[in-house]
Amino acid sequence: MPVVRGARPLVVAGEVGLDRDVRWVHSSELPDIATLLRGGELVLTTGSLWSSDEAAQVAFVASLADVEAAGLVVELHRRWSAGLPAGVVRACAAHGLPLVALGREVRFAAIAQAVGERIVDGQLTELRAVERIHTTFTRLSLAEAEVPEILQAAHRIAGLPVVLESDEHHVVAFAADPTGDDAELLADWPEISRLVGAPGPADAAESSDGAEPARPAEHTGLSATVEATTTALTSTAELTATAGSTRWDASVGWLVAPVGAGKRRWGRLVIVTAQPPGDRLVVLAERAAAAVALRRLNDRDRDGLVRRSHHEIMLALAVRPTADALRRCELAGLPLRRRRFVAVALRPTAGADIGDVVAAVVHATRTRRLPALVSQIGPDVHALLSLPATNVPGGANVPGGPHAPGGAVDATVDGLAADVRRRHAVVVAASRPVNEPARLGATLAEARQVLESVGDTSGADPARVVHRLDDVHVRGLIALLGTDPRLAAFVDRELAGLRAHDARWSTDLVGAVRALLAHPTSKASAAASIHLSRPAFYARLEKAEQVIGASLDDPEIRTSLHLALLAHDVAAARPNTAVRPPRPG
């Protein structure tokens, strides 16, 4: 700057420290000025009060080095016109503290003003850049931008690769220079990420994983005002990280900001930078991570609201498809004009989580671009699909196709079910397609009845992707009757005697009859199915005939018992259905 150049500056010692940042300027003749410094200050002095004792001079320089002063500038025109004392020169060289001699008299106030203006200009430039960062990510959040767009914005501002990883250290998405080597950037990412470790809570000390908090040193004066403003602007980033939790790992050159806070944290955003990050990059990392966290939060909350809305609509349709219910269907994105409708019901098995099944169904419908209502109802997942009346995804709906007359409608449902079954263990049932919105309640009921007729696994054909009414036969009739008390009375009447005998004598006559009905043409196979010898099996059948007072060879008796057992099985598989216990003998 001109005011300094006019004073004929000469670097006498400490050249290695000339790249230090100057945070502020102090002019003082006090030999103990170090006690008033906080680091990063450029000290201006004439040295008029310096001691002639070399040890005192060395101690003075050491005190400046201890507080990490940016440098020492001495005007030679007064006491030290013949040259700086050797003790000061040697001490500055030893500590790497820049020592500059000014050959002409100069007003220190002018230097302080010039340096201060440059510092403030830099801070204001930084503040404007931070404001632009906040404006950018606020706009993206309000626009509900997708994660890739958020990462691209961060990459565009930083000019550095930006990577989003899960809590399991897997790369979820990234944005980098298209001309760069993505394979090199992401090589061994999980292994390196685990070594970097998760950011710890805010603290002043180094984290246990060796990564240092990415916060700059504390500022004073006007700089403190600028930093306070910046802190206020960055308050929204607390969705992602509190002060100190964003960290830079010098060993790999990663600036790491957690995505989500506390128990909601699910990943990290990484900006790859070989240089120590400044305020601007730290704010950028935190705001980008906050935008990603907010996007994920919006997705979850919005999907929860959508699921509740779909649940209410489907319950209303099940009662009666009123004009209001149908209007809500269209508002929810389910078109009704010139459409075909099919209901799908899914029951998780083998410990599958129903929330995951709901998410899988939603994902499958979106991937296939199928307008649908999707919700959990009881222990099952229900979906109502709206398909074009003539052009169904997957092919034209022509008679004679698979599962005619549904044709390609059924093929579309089969594809949807296959998508879900690849992820989760589920039994899937579907209704026949209907054309009239007035029959939406009936189609939902049909899918539910088919699902109840096959239960979880007992009545399900493992080779069949989707069960339909044509597949369940008499089970479908039983499911249609549901909890009709007359059906329950019939089951009780037909099986009461056998149950009472089994309860009193610890036998299994019901099991023997069930095996006989399952193998009607071979009593030997029936006996083998329950691991009994033929004589023992025959003895049980004889006892069963005595209990019911009828021959098991009578076709009508067999039909009655078979129907009763099927009704019992369907009722037992039905959610929230009390299965009638055996009567005491």
Same domain (yes/no): 445, 519: no
Has residue 64 been placed in a domain?
A: yes
Q: What is the CATH number of the domain that holds 409?
A: 3.30.70.240
Same domain (yes/no): 462, 504: no
Which residue type, as a one-letter code, is found at position 425?
A: A
Please tell me the distance from the alpha carbon of residue 410 to that of residue 343, in angstroms, as a whole number. 11
Residues 6+ apart with CB under 8 A from 119: 22, 23, 24, 222, 223
Structural domains of the chain, count = 4
Cβ atoms 424, 357 nearer than 8 A:
yes
Has residue 131 been placed in a domain?
A: no
User: How far does Cα 11 stand from its chain's mean position?
Assistant: 56
Q: What is the CATH number of the domain that holds 142?
A: 3.30.450
Quote the pLDDT of residue 297.
79
Q: Which residues pair with 340 in a beta bridge?
A: 387
CA dihedral sign of residues 294, 295, 296, 301: positive
Has residue 255 been placed in a domain?
A: yes
Ramachandran angles phi, psi of 229, nearest 5°: -65, -45
Same domain (yes/no): 327, 474: yes
Strand order in the sheet with 380-388: 372-377, 380-388, 339-348, 426-430
Quote the pLDDT of residue 362.
93
Please tell me the distance from the alpha carbon of residue 421 to that of residue 418, in angstroms, as a whole number. 5
The two tokens of residue 371 are: 């307008």
49-87 pLDDT, tens digit each: 888 888 988 999 999 999 899 899 988 877 777 788 888
Q: Which residues pair with 100 in a beta bridge?
A: 11, 73
Q: Which of 481, 504, 524 is the last residue of a domain?
A: 481
Ramachandran angles phi, psi of 248, nearest 5°: -115, 125
Same domain (yes/no): 463, 504: no
Q: Which of 447, 481, 515 is the last residue of a domain?
A: 481
Same domain (yes/no): 391, 343: yes
Has residue 115 been placed in a domain?
A: no
400-416 pLDDT, tens digit each: 333 444 568 989 999 99
User: Mapping DSSP to helix (H, G, I), strand (E, B) and coil, where does residue 233 land?
Assistant: helix
Beta-strand (E) ranges in 153-205? 162-166, 171-175
Please tell me the distance from the alpha carbon of residue 472 to that of residue 454, in angstroms, as a whole number. 7
Please tell me the distance from the alpha carbon of residue 444 to that of residue 36, in angstroms, as a whole number. 79
Same domain (yes/no): 153, 292: yes
Please tell me the distance from the alpha carbon of residue 103 to that of residue 218, in angstroms, as a whole number. 34
Task: Indicate the helix (H) or strand (E) that contains 305.
Answer: helix 279-319
Please tell me the distance from the alpha carbon of residue 59 to that of residue 35, in angstroms, as a whole number. 13
Please tell me the distance from the alpha carbon of residue 546 to that of residue 501, in angstroms, as a whole number. 11
Q: DSSP secondary structure string, 379-403?
A: TEEEEEEEEESSEETTEE--TTSTT
Has residue 130 been placed in a domain?
A: no
CB atoms within 10 A of CB 513: 26
278-287 pLDDT, tens digit each: 889 999 999 9
Q: What is the mean pLDDT of each run of 10 residues along the chain (585 residues)?
A: 76 87 86 87 86 88 91 82 85 92 81 82 83 94 90 95 88 87 84 73 38 42 37 35 71 93 84 92 95 82 78 94 90 91 93 90 93 94 93 41 59 95 93 95 93 68 81 78 85 94 94 94 94 95 95 93 89 55 34
Please tell me the distance from the alpha carbon of residue 347 to that of residue 585, in angstroms, as a whole number. 36
Q: Which of 434, 454, 481 is the last residue of a domain?
A: 481
Has residue 522 been placed in a domain?
A: yes
Please tell me the distance from the alpha carbon of residue 434 to that of residue 43, in angstroms, as a whole number. 86
User: How far does Cα 348 stand from its chain's mean position?
Assistant: 22
Q: What is the CATH number of the domain that holds 56?
A: 3.40.1390.20
Same domain (yes/no): 157, 291: yes
Has residue 122 been placed in a domain?
A: no
Please tell me the distance from the alpha carbon of residue 306 to that of residue 496, in angstroms, as a whole number. 47
| Burial classification of residue 580, based on how many CB atoms lie within 10 Å of its CB (0-12 exposed, 13-18 middle, 19 or more buried) | middle
Same domain (yes/no): 248, 329: no
Has residue 237 been placed in a domain?
A: yes
Same domain (yes/no): 463, 566: no
Same domain (yes/no): 459, 512: no
Q: What is the CA radius of gyration of the chain?
A: 40
Closest CA to 204 of 261, 244, 250: 244
Domain that holds residue 13: 2-106
Same domain (yes/no): 198, 333: no
The two tokens of residue 454 are: 């096959």
Same domain (yes/no): 156, 290: yes
Please tell me the distance from the alpha carbon of residue 300 to that of residue 430, in angstroms, as a whole number. 28
